[in-house]
Structure formats: C-alpha cells, structure tokens
Chain A
Amino acid sequence: EIVMTQSPVTLSVSPGERATLSCRASQSLSSNLAWYQQKPGQAPSLLIHDASTRATGIPARFSGSGSGTEFTLTISSLQSEDFAVYYCQQYNNWPRTFGQGTKVEIK
C-alpha cells in the first residue's frame, strides 16, 4: 500500500498570504495524484488532478506541482472561503490512499 504523508498538519495563514501544502508518497506515482478540499460539514470536492490540472471551475489561485513522490499544492492568495482541510490522494495503485490532511486555518 502506498502511504501518503502530508505536511504540515496545520497551516496558519493570514488572508491574502500564500499557502504551500506538501504531499509525499512512499513510492512513485508518476503524476497520478489529486487534491481535494473539504469544508466543515461538507463533502470533499476536487481541486486538482493529474498533479497539476485544475478541475473545472477551480480558481487560478490554486496550483499543483510535482511528480514521482513529491507534490505541492499552492494557494497564491488565500481568500476567506479557502480555509478548509486539504487532502491529497493517489490513484496510481490499488488501494487508493489519501493523506491525513492539512488544515488551513486563519492566522
């Protein structure tokens, strides 16, 4: 099973600042990685797939990068609606596995 490790666990950021979230895989994924956003009381929603492709309707302030085992989600200028938990997930191998999540909170 591929283990996904996200860091940090919690990220405190002021509105308008940049946030950088990391995701590391225990083995190579090529680019088969997605990022999801989950707000309190809501289902997760897709942000990024194939490591760097924004899903439909996702603002350009969200960007993904990386390949192999190291991946990054960057939010260039945090808006109030971006404070949430973010998960990475690999779909290169079965079972599909998620990271434990990074909570982005208001500083």
Chain B
Amino acid sequence: EVQLVESGGGLVLPGGSLRLSCAASGFTFSSYEMNWVRQAPGKGLEWISYISRYGSTIYYADSVRGRFTISRDNAENSLYLQMNSLGAEDTAIYYCARDSLSWELDYWGQGTLVTVSS
C-alpha cells in the first residue's frame, strides 16, 4: 500500500524557518517524481514544488522560489521541504504528493499544518 506521511509542521515566528519531511513507503521511491502542494485555511490547492527522481530537475512556484528548497533522499525514502523567511501567507497545510507515470498526482499524504504567527 502506498503511504506518504508528512511531519515537521508547527508554529513558527514570521521570518523563521521550518523543515518538512515526507516519509514514503509501499512503492519504489526512487522511481517517482514528487511534489509539495499546500492549502491555506479555507482556501484552494496551490502547487509549490516538484523534484525529479534523482533531484536533477526542480521547479518552484513563484510564491516560494528563493525561500523554499525541495530535496529528497532516495536511500531514506524521504522527501523534504526547507522553508525559510516564512510569512503569514505561508500558513497552510502542506501535502506531499506523488507524480504518477503520466504526471497527475496519484497519491497524497495526510498533510502537516504550518502556522506562521507571532
């Protein structure tokens, strides 16, 4: 069974940093591209980052480029999101999601909540 479990969310001060993790199981992690998608409270979904199977290709949404860094460790079956210079607009549930072989997001984690507030 495919499972994606995010962790690392919490309350952080404006300007602060946080590192999210996503533990993958039930599939060959290194064979799939991965993404982060976020959802602000009561709002819609926003794709924020993508990483290819071995990390050679990375994309970011404009809203996070230069502040967030996506990475992965295939030996640990884990995906990461380093978030710096956080602002109130980054308050959201952060989901990791797997790219299917035909590019849609076929499996999602349950999400981890990040709250940026003083």
- Residues of B with C-beta under 8 A to A38: 45
- Residues of A with C-beta under 8 A to B111: 43
Could you give, for residues 36-70 of chain B, a 1 whenever the CB lies within 8 Å of some chain A CB and a 0 otherwise? 01000000111100100000000111100000000
Q: Return the contact of A97 from the options B47, B50, B102, B109 (Cβ within 8 A).
A: B47
A residues 4-63 near B (Cβ < 8 Å) are 32, 34, 36, 38, 42-46, 49-50, 55
Please state if A49 and B100 are interface contacts (CB–CB under 8 Å).
yes
Chain B residues with a Cβ closer than 8 Å to the other chain, count: 23
Q: Is the interface of B mostly helix, strand, loop or mixed?
A: strand
Please state if B47 and A96 are interface contacts (CB–CB under 8 Å).
yes
Please state if B110 and A101 are interface contacts (CB–CB under 8 Å).
no
Given known pairs A43-B109, A45-B108, the reply for A98 and B44 (CB within 8 Å) is: yes
- The residue among A44, A45, A95 with the most chain B CB atoms within 10 A of its own CB is A95
Residue of A nearest to B103 (CB): A91
Please state if A87 and B104 are interface contacts (CB–CB under 8 Å).
no
Judge if B105 is at the interface, Cβ distance under 8 Å: yes
Residue of B nearest to A46 (CB): B106
- Residues of A with C-beta under 8 A to B102: 49-50
